[in-house]
């Protein structure tokens, strides 16, 4: 571990106010400076009780902790040397302690979970290894990295950390739960919670409550691994409740011609609420939103709702002329990126359309090559209240070839930050197209949705030279969104503080 101080940062990070013509934000942008770390991806940002901003970044070889006040004075940098092949999986901030959880892959089959703790007050850090496990060759141990999708979760009161790992057994789905005390990282308990040699199982989501009990939901397939057989869903959802002494199981049965790719869980009114997009026609299509309210004790489904996407979603995507003919169709290729909750229990699901195309480009007599293009296109937004009622739905008609947006909630409003062409294009059919032409310069925009789904658009800045900021790599906390530009020699930091 090494401690770096950069004295001239105290001068260059005096912020310039850019607030005069902006309605939604007070904007502060630092002077340009040279950054020794090739990373613009902020793992997370937090604010302490005395308004000190705390940021964690990961470069190729270092974990970088940075602290500065709202005027960017008194900035400190603390760096921790990382081993090769360490990847970020989660974070926790409590009592001026920022904990960053990383998975190390020292070999093809060994995985280690480390926790790096940064003490803001003393500007010191320490490393603790929480567990070591064996996986199948080149597999991951957490959600999104392998077919079985194990999980990592933190309780709402930030007192417990739950980790689910796959137990390596031939022809078996078997999982372990590890629950840790978040304050001192001691192990509270570990327990095996699923073991089935007959049926294939994939974990969908996991949460841990304020008492350290863990709830996991996943797909249990009837036969084989296919999503559909004989025009019916080939799975049901299984809920497991795990505590130190017991394991209890329940099930959610789907109706005929009902497909739900994934379910996400949260705690609402002392119950479990499960949310997911449902389809009636395609395995991974989106017809609307399914909501399940589940009793935490019995694991029985108390209430279920299926609600179609509203007409406004299709008006934003296809224009008012074509919306009615499209409203009974299903959206495809969307991936849920964010599930956000506000103080009133409202939930916002934000998904982005993603797909890949390949085009063969001929080079004449020299043959040719395939050109692969990644598409990050339309954005789908839905808001549900605490009872699971679909309040409104909207879309953003967007075209991009790289991850570009970020979203957060502040005081009942949903903010979507993204880059587009210098001027948004209003089409004759009522749509607003968010894209950048071949020779067009870009600009940073905010789309702000009020409690009823009404949207306002505001340009934050025109991007010039090295001043392009990518919201996708920024982070939000406590009314502030922080992001970097992409230059190393002329690095800048921007703070967007919500006015409302």
Q: What is the pLDDT of residue 405?
A: 95
CB atoms within 10 A of CB 474: 21
Phi, psi of 324, deg, nearest 5: -65, -35
Q: What is the pLDDT of residue 400?
A: 92
Residues of the chain scoring pLDDT < 50: 1-20, 143-149
Q: What is the pLDDT of residue 90?
A: 84
Residues in CB range of 184: below 8 A, 6 or more apart? none
Q: What is the pLDDT of residue 303?
A: 93
Residue 430 and residue 320 in contact, taking contact as beta carbons nearer than 8 Å: yes
Residue 474 and residue 414 in contact, taking contact as beta carbons nearer than 8 Å: no
The vertex-158 CA angle with 153 and 161, nearest 5°, equals: 35
Q: What is the pLDDT of residues 171-215, one digit of tens each?
A: 556 788 999 999 899 999 999 887 777 888 888 899 999 999 999
Q: What is the pLDDT of residue 15?
A: 43
Q: What is the pLDDT of residues 283-334, one digit of tens each?
A: 899 999 999 999 999 999 999 999 999 999 999 999 999 999 999 999 999 9
Measured distance CA(307)–CA(286) in Å, rounded: 11
Q: What is the DSSP letter of 473?
A: G
Q: What is the pLDDT of residue 423?
A: 85
Residue 90 and residue 73 in contact, taking contact as beta carbons nearer than 8 Å: no
Measured distance CA(59)–CA(63) in Å, rounded: 6
Q: What is the pLDDT of residue 20?
A: 43
Q: What is the pLDDT of residue 150?
A: 52
**Average model confidence (pLDDT) across the chain:** 86
Residue 390 and residue 289 in contact, taking contact as beta carbons nearer than 8 Å: yes
């Amino acid at each position: 571990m090494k401690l770096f101080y950069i004295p001239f940062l105290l001068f260059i990070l005096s912020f310039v106010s850019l607030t005069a013509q902006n309605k939604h934000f007070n904007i502060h942008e630092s002077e340009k400076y040279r950054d020794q770390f090739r990373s613009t991806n902020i793992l997370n940002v937090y604010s302490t009780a005395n308004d000190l901003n705390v940021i964690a970044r990961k470069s190729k070889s270092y974990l970088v902790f940075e602290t500065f006040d709202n005027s960017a004075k008194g900035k400190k940098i603390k760096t921790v040397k990382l081993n090769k092949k360490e990847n970020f999986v989660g974070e926790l901030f409590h009592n001026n302690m920022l904990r960053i959880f990383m998975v190390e892959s020292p070999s093809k089959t060994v995985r280690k979970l480390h926790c790096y703790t940064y003490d803001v007050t003393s500007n010191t850090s320490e490393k603790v290894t929480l567990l070591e496990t064996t996986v199948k060759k080149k597999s991951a141990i957490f959600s999104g990295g392998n077919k079985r999708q194990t999980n990592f979760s933190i309780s709402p009161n930030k007192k417990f950390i739950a980790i689910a790992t796959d137990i390596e057994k031939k022809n078996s789905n078997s999982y372990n739960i590890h629950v840790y005390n978040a304050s001192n990282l001691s192990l509270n308990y570990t327990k095996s919670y699923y073991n089935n040699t007959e049926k294939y199982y994939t974990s969908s989501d996991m949460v841990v409550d304020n008492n350290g009990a863990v709830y996991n939901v996943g797909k249990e397939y009837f036969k084989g691994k296919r999503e559909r057989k004989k025009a019916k869903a080939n799975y049901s959802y299984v809920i497991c409740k795990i505590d130190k002494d017991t394991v209890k199981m329940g099930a959610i049965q789907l109706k005929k011609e009902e497909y739900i790719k994934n379910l996400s869980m949260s705690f609402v009114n002392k119950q479990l609420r499960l949310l997911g997009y449902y389809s009636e026609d395609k395995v991974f299509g989106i017809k609307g939103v399914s909501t399940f309210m589940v009793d935490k004790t019995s694991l029985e489904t108390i209430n279920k709702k299926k609600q179609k996407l509203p007409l406004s979603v299709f008006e934003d995507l296809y224009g008012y002329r074509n919306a009615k003919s499209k409203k009974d169709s299903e959206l495809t290729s969307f991936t849920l990126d964010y599930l956000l909750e506000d103080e009133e229990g409202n939930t916002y699901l934000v998904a982005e359309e993603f797909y890949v195309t390949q085009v063969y480009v001929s080079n004449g007599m020299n043959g040719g090559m395939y050109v692969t293009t990644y598409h990050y296109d339309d954005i789908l937004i839905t808001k549900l209240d605490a009872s699971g009622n679909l309040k409104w739905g909207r879309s953003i008609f967007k075209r991009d070839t790289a991850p570009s947006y970020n979203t957060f909630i502040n005081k009942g409003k949903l903010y979507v930050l993204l880059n587009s062409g210098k001027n948004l294009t209003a089409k004759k059919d009522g749509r607003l197209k968010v894209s950048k032409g071949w020779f067009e310069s870009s600009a940073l925009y905010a789309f702000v949705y009020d409690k009823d789904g009404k949207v306002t658009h505001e340009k934050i800045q025109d991007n010039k030279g090295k001043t392009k900021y990518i919201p996708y790599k920024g982070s939000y906390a406590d009314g502030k969104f922080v992001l970097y530009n992409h230059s190393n020699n002329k690095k800048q930091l921007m703070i967007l503080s919500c006015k409302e």
